[in-house]
Chain A
Amino acid sequence: MEANALRRGELSWRLWALVPVLLLALAVGGYVASGASLAGMIGTNPPQADEFDVRRVEFKPGEIRIRVTNPQQDDLTIASVTVDDAIVPFTLDGPGTLGRLRSSTIVVPFDWVADDPMVVGVTSSTGIETAEEIPAAVETPGVTAAAFLGYGIIGLLVGVLPVALGLLWLPSLRRVEQRWLTAFMALTAGLLAFLGVEALFEAFEFQAVVPGAFGGPGLVLLGLAASFLTMTFISGRFSGASGGALGGAALALLVAIGIGLHNFGEGLAIGTSFAFGQLTLGSFLIVGFMVHNVTEGLGIAAPAADGGVSLSKARLAALVAIAGVPTILGAWLGGFVANDVLAALFFGAAAGAAFEVVAEVVRYVGRRDPAGLRSAYAVGGFLSGIAIMYATGLLAG
């Protein structure tokens, strides 16, 4: 009896938690149903902006495809389409009147001039024209085997290869003294801190051009927090498995994951920029990326060298794959489907992963070499990491 009463008490206490939710639903329902116009009491609502969000502009032979989304509350109708200030006939692959966050693709038969700058305009029923400037009309790569392979090779060159090369420092690192190893670990932290800051700003730049309806800066925070906490969780599992402390090999894996996430974003940026004719994909750029990313391999090698266990070739290859292959995936995604929302989210995630790994590295060094944490080796290593990234980053523009 008593246990039952207790359970009943527990149950009603839990049910009580539903009360605010129900009351909120009632209040919302009541407000909406009453059709009350608060704006009417205070003043007048401003008109809707009636601007489209132009998601993608693709150039195909004899055709321009414009993907637009309605970012506002009210419906938005595609009434007229212009190319370089000329009204053009078009067909729609999707609805003509877009509800909130709905998209449509405008197909314009058009004899466009390769490499010329161009402005496409989409006019709403209220006559508001959303213009999108294209720096240079370049045929958008289709999802062909060749394009797939091309992006794959780019990812391989700027992602996988440099990381693998950087890992070749591993045997040399194994032979250095502890204080120098600390310096290299700090260097790794410096590299990652640099990548994190960079990714964060990149994320905010993408977020800035995303219409408000798709999320403000919170979108970036979402990506950042999700990856930071996931990495924390993973590292917790690793340390649990090895008796409470994270091993060098496990830390190397974490660093590889962090760098992998970053490289995914990097691949994404290269893919989209090239697909939209915003990037000259010359050998200068590729070489710049390669030199820049070799340091990422070094970042993985430093904790691996400190592990005290020799890693098998297969495990080293796995580290390279985790850190480098995401570049290829990112390039594919960017080249074929990416948009601003995804980009903001992924760069946020890259930043979160980088910052988490910096924290792990600092914790690791603090444990392995408590005296070294505040030594000139650690400070110098960290600053050198940032400086190296900055200097090699200049190479890639």
Chain B
Amino acid sequence: MPKFTRRRLLAGAAPLVAAPMLGKLAFDGNADAASRTLQTHENDHAAHGHAAMIGESAPAVGGPNDLDALLYPPPALTHEPGRVREYTLRATDREIEIAPGVFFPAWTYNGTVPGPVIRATEDDLLRVHFVNAGSHPHTIHFHGIHPANMDGVFEVVAPGDELTYEFPARPAGMHLYHCHATPLKKHIHKGLYGAFIIDPREPRPPAHELVMVMNGYDTDGDGGNNFYTVNGRSFYYARYPIRVRRSETVRLYLANLTEFDLVNSMHLHGDFFRHQPTGTGDHWEYTDTVMQCQGQRGVIEIDFANTGLFMFHAHQSEFAELGWMGFFDVVD
């Protein structure tokens, strides 16, 4: 756009000589604009802003059940020491659509960002077959307790190679897994991560269970995220609110894998919830907002008091407005 460069006037220079006609012209123009802006604010507020971004008006990719495999975890199994739980993860390079018309050249586990939910019960023997079908060396680094050679740090899997990780699942809690090849920042932000749930020996009470992995995408490579999501697509749960029943406890497994930003968070509208950090121990917090740095996670239990649409979003407004926002549709 043209910029005025030739005779730059220092901003705020006081008028030396009065030129009433022009002065009036300029000032009237400003006042007019200001009053019109105010009017706009009063009249059209409902038409603007993101409070209105729900359903059709929310810019999200795909159909209503596209992310079900990531949102709804596999069922918890009862405690049975020594039982083998097998999973196969394939690292692939894949371009994914993260917002309508915006494509991100991702590195994925099994084709999605985040990768699939891995679930085991405490004392299960976890056997994860890892196939690197991508174009760069990768690993899987699980959070939890395991031998040093199962840690996904030293045993880097070259493209075309495979490795099987095997260790007993413990401790019970909400964990996560991610690639630990270097450069770490690149391998995580490209999409190699997912949720890893270990159920306790004593099963948790029945509930409607959900998984949300918070993330971001730096699509223009400037070291800052351009889009934020849960489960990989911006505004997806604003486009398709998550239907839950008021009579049923909602148990939400929440993890933060956002790169570049120091923290991410989740805030629930219209209600409070119990929050168990890392899904371990006896400490439960009663709140409506939790904050997690990268790698932090927790278990949230909500007993909705009311029916209706309740928003949830990062309480970093910027993240919310760049895609990390959705709704619960609470029905009887």
Contacts and interface: CB of A to CB of B under 8 A. Distances in A.
Interface stretch (A32-40, A104-112, A299-307): A104-112
Interface stretch (A178-186, A268-276, A320-328, A360-368): A268-276
Nearest to B219: A127
Interface string B190-212: 00000000000000000000000
A136 B10 CA distance: 15
B33 A123 contact: no
A356 interface: no
A278 interface: yes
Contacts of A266: 6
Nearest to A130: B220
B40 A62 contact: yes
Contacts of A289: 7
Interface residues of A, number: 70
Contacts of A236: none
B220 A128 contact: yes
Contacts of A96: 101
B223 interface: no
Given A80-B99, A111-B48, A284-B15, 9 more contacts: A61-B36, A87-B227, A87-B322, A109-B44, A111-B37, A127-B227, A139-B36, A202-B5, A288-B9
Interface string A101-140: 0000000011111110000000111111100100000110
A218 interface: no
B318 A132 contact: no
A154 interface: yes
Nearest to B17: A287
Contacts of B59: 80, 87, 89
A148 interface: no
Contact of B321 (A78, A85, A205): A85
A281 B22 contact: yes
A86 B318 contact: yes
17 contacts: A80-B99, A86-B318, A111-B37, A111-B41, A111-B44, A123-B220, A126-B102, A139-B37, A268-B2, A269-B6, A276-B2, A278-B3, A283-B15, A284-B14, A285-B7, A338-B2, A396-B7
A284 B13 contact: yes
Interface in A142-159: 150, 153-154, 157
B226 interface: yes
B228 to A, nearest CB: 10
Contact of B4 (A109, A273, A283, A286): A273
Nearest to A149: B25
Interface residues of B, number: 62
A396 B22 CA distance: 16
Interface of B: 1-19, 21-23, 25-26, 29-30, 32-34, 36-37, 39-41, 44-45, 47-50, 53, 57, 59, 98-104, 217, 219-220, 226-227, 234-235, 317-318, 321-323
Contacts of A43: none
A174 interface: no
Given A109-B47, A111-B40, A273-B2, A279 B102 contact: no
A87 B323 contact: yes
Contacts of A273: 2-4
Contacts of B22: 153-154, 157, 281, 283, 286
A44 to B, nearest CB: 14
A205 B5 CA distance: 8
Interface string A51-90: 0001111000110000000000000011110100111010
A273 B26 CA distance: 13
Contacts of A268: 2
Contact of B19 (A78, A110, A286): A286
